[in-house]
Amino acid sequence: MQRPRRRRRTEALRRLVREHELSPGDLIQPIFVVHGQGVEREIDSMPGVCHLSVDQSLDREVDRVEALGIPAVILFGLPAAKDDGGTENFAEDGIVQRALRRLRARSSDLLLITDVCCCEYTSHGHCGVLRGESVDNDATLEVLSRVAVSHARAGADIVAPSGMMDGMVAAIRSGLDADGHQDLAILSYAVKYASGFYGPFREAAGSAPSFGDRRQYQMDPANLREGLLEAALDEAEGADLLMVKPALAYLDVVRAVRERTHLPLLAYNVSGEYAMLKAAARLGWVDERRLVLEALTGMRRAGADAINTYHAKDAAAWLAEEGRR
Ligand code: PBG
């Protein structure tokens, strides 16, 4: 008789036959930067995640991330003021540009990724330039390219467009190349759904749309084939890495994209996924550590090479502890 249980008898055996590993090197920690001084303000619906000012507050966070062996952060900025065109998004002294300069000056090899989108910067909260009640795709491409170039000049290693505009990767690539940034990589949020799981992020970034929703540019959660098309288009436009977002309810999409591309693939374990686990753990209903490591391992098993997650620091610390055992 075949007895698979023989291989589960001891931890050493289980380790030997383990198919997928999760390590701190697979994780990216999101960071929210804000104007002001000495700010370290926890976000209500995201316990453990803070708004940080670009000073010692940011330095301390990045020190923690690096000490845990996490190779990358992704920066989101809250501007001082929002306007129709979202002008701080590409301002030389914009909040993300300031954060990049400060972190670059530390001369560490931490990877600095930036989210390239308009919704945090525009007064209407949509991900692009409005024409009437709808986002003007091609006018938005010019803005995205300008934002990416300003991030590149401030020291970004990777720019990550997240607005689901058609042609965004090609537009950003040509903008970067024209400004001499041929070596700067593009991580495309290629397959991004119009999801209720972004709720806490929109509180954190003050980026909820003032009218309507994002269904005219983000994808319908019911569609898989369309996601494969989106991934293929972004690859053809020159994306260097692809991402699927959200993660937990979309692991079939991660798997399907994985099977069709040779590019590195990331999953974005989004704010609502984080908030759900945190809330249940706070109520004492689940074992947070176990669930977080299980969920992240599931994303790796589904085919994600790396994971963008608010759990990154906790997970890296737990993994280090297990490694010492
Ligand atoms: C910007 C952007 C969003 C997220 C990442 N980049 C919000 C949105 O699309 O509404 C969401 C991340 C999260 O929920 O953790 N467009």
Q: What is the DSSP string of 140-193?
A: HHHHHHHHHHHHHHHT-SEEEE-S--TTHHHHHHHHHHHTT-TT-EEEEEEEEB
Our answer on whether the CB atom of 119 is closer than 6 Å to any ligand 1 atom is yes
Ligand 1 centroid – CA 124 distance (Å) = 15
Our answer on whether the CB atom of 164 is closer than 6 Å to any ligand 1 atom is no
User: Among residues 112, 114, 22, which one has the least CA distance to residue 317?
Assistant: 22
Ligand 1 atom nearest the C-alpha of 218 is 9
DSSP 264-324: -EEEEE-HHHHHHHHHHHHTTSS-HHHHHHHHHHHHHHHT-SEEEETTHHHHHHHHHHHHH
The pLDDT score that the predictor gives to residue 323 is: 82
Our answer on whether the CB atom of 204 is closer than 6 Å to any ligand 1 atom is no
Gyration radius from the chain CA atoms: 20
Catalytic residue among 82, 245, 278, 313: 245
Percentage of the chain beyond pLDDT 90 is 97
For residues 108 and 66, is the Cβ–Cβ distance under 8 A?
A: yes
Which residue is associated with the tokens 């759990």?
A: 311
Nearest CA to ligand 1 atom 11: 198
The pLDDT score that the predictor gives to residue 240 is: 98
DSSP letter at 70 equals: -
What phi, psi does 52 have (nearest 5°)? Answer: -125, 135
Task: List the domains of the chain with CATH numbers.
Answer: 22-324 (3.20.20.70)
CA 150 to chain centre: 19
DSSP letter at 249 equals: G
Mean pLDDT for all residues in the chain: 97
Our answer on whether the CB atom of 198 is closer than 6 Å to any ligand 1 atom is yes
> What's the pTM value of the predicted model, to 2 decimals?
0.97
Q: What residue ranges of the chain have pLDDT lower than 50?
A: none
For residues 138 and 167, is the Cβ–Cβ distance under 8 A?
A: yes
Nearest CA to ligand 1 atom 2: 162
Ligand 1 atom nearest the C-alpha of 310 is 15
CA 325 to chain centre: 31
Pocket test for ligand 1, best of 76, 117, 219, 276 (most atoms within 8 A of CB): 117
Ligand 1 centroid – CA 198 distance (Å) = 6
The pLDDT score that the predictor gives to residue 136 is: 95
The pLDDT score that the predictor gives to residue 35 is: 98
Our answer on whether the CB atom of 199 is closer than 6 Å to any ligand 1 atom is no
245 catalytic? Reply is: yes
Span 87-145, pLDDT tens digits? 999 999 999 999 999 999 997 799 999 999 999 999 999 999 999 999 999 999 999 99
Pocket test for ligand 1, best of 120, 143, 207 (most atoms within 8 A of CB): 207
Ligand 1 atom nearest the C-alpha of 200 is 14
Nearest CA to ligand 1 atom 5: 162
Rounded distance between C-alpha atoms, residue 197 and residue 247, angstroms? 10
Nearest CA to ligand 1 atom 8: 198
Span 145-182, pLDDT tens digits? 999 999 999 999 999 999 999 999 999 999 999 999 99
The pLDDT score that the predictor gives to residue 57 is: 98
The pLDDT score that the predictor gives to residue 200 is: 97
Ligand 1 centroid – CA 103 distance (Å) = 23
Q: Kind and range of the H or E element at 234?
A: helix 225-237
